[in-house]
C-alpha cells in the first residue's frame, strides 16, 4: 500500500530503495540534496544524514540480514521545524519486537575487547526527539523526528 505524502508539510518525498549499501548511499544523496534546496544548514544535514544512514543500515543488516533483494521505503518530510522520517520494510522484526534498551558501550575495556558495533541506536537516539517502532502485517515501521533547532 503506498502512503500519500502529507500535503501540509514544507516538503515531503517517498523514496523506494533496494536493501543494499549502494542504494542507501544513493538515497542519502537524494534526501540531503532535497534538504539543502530547502535551506537546511550543512550542520543539520550532516546529522540528518547520519540518523537516516544508521536507520537504513539497520534494515539492510538486521531486518533483511544482508539480503539484497529486500525493499525499503523511505518517507522524508520537512514539517514544523523538524524532519520527519518513516522507514518501512518487510524484513525480520526487531528482537523482542521493540527498540533496544539504551546501554552505554563499555569503553573502559582493554583494547582487544573494545566494541566495534552497537553504536547505531545510540547515535539515532542522541539526535532524535521522537523514535517509534511498530510492526503490522509483516511490515516494520520506524518513525523518527529530528528537531532542526537542536543540532548544534
Partner 1 sequence: MTLTHDMTEDRLLVTAQDARIDAAVAIQFKDQMRALTAHAPARVVLDLHKVMFIDSSGLGAIVGAMKQLREGQKLELAGLTPNVDKVFRLTRMDTIFTIHTDVDAALDHADG
- Residue of 85, 71, 79, 88 lying closest to 31 (CA atoms): 85
Is 126 a binding residue for partner 1 by CB under 8 A? The answer is yes
Cβ proximity of 142 and 132 under 8 Å: yes
Is 63 a binding residue for partner 1 by CB under 8 A? The answer is no
Nearer to partner 1, 12 or 83 (CB): 83
Nearer to partner 1, 19 or 86 (CB): 19
What dihedral angle (degrees, nearest 10) is formed by the CA atoms of 134, 103, 91, 59? 110
Applying CB under 8 A, among 6, 41, 46, 65 the residue interacting with partner 1 is 46
CB of 55 to partner 1, least distance (A): 10
Phi-psi label, residue 57: left if phi above 0, alpha if psi -120 to 50, beta otherwise: alpha
Q: Residue 87: how many CB atoms within 10 A of its CB?
A: 22
Cβ proximity of 142 and 133 under 8 Å: yes
Nearer to partner 1, 79 or 123 (CB): 123
Nearer to partner 1, 85 or 127 (CB): 127
Q: Which residues make up the interface to partner 1 (CB under 8 A)?
A: 21-22, 24-25, 43, 46-47, 49-50, 53-54, 57, 60-61, 105, 107, 111-112, 114-117, 119-120, 122-123, 126-127
Amino acid at each position: 500500500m503506498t502512503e500519500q505524502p502529507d500535503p501540509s508539510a514544507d516538503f515531503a518525498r517517498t523514496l523506494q530503495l533496494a536493501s543494499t549499501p549502494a542504494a542507501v548511499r544513493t538515497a542519502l544523496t537524494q534526501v540531503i540534496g532535497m534538504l539543502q534546496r530547502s535551506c537546511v544548514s550543512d550542520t543539520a544535514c550532516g546529522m540528518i544524514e547520519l540518523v537516516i544512514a544508521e536507520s537504513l543500515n539497520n534494515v539492510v543488516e538486521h531486518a533483511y540480514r544482508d539480503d539484497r533483494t529486500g525493499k525499503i521505503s523511505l518517507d522524508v518530510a520537512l514539517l514544523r521545524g523538524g524532519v520527519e522520517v518513516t522507514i518501512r520494510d518487510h524484513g525480520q522484526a526487531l528482537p523482542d519486537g521493540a527498540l533496544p534498551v539504551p546501554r552505554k558501550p563499555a569503553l573502559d575495556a582493554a583494547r582487544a575487547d573494545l566494541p566495534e558495533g552497537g553504536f547505531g541506536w545510540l547515535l539515532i537516539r542522541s539526535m532524535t526527539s521522537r523514535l517509534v517502532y511498530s510492526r503490522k502485517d509483516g511490515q516494520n515501521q520506524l518513525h523518527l523526528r529530528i528537531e532542526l533547532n537542536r543540532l548544534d
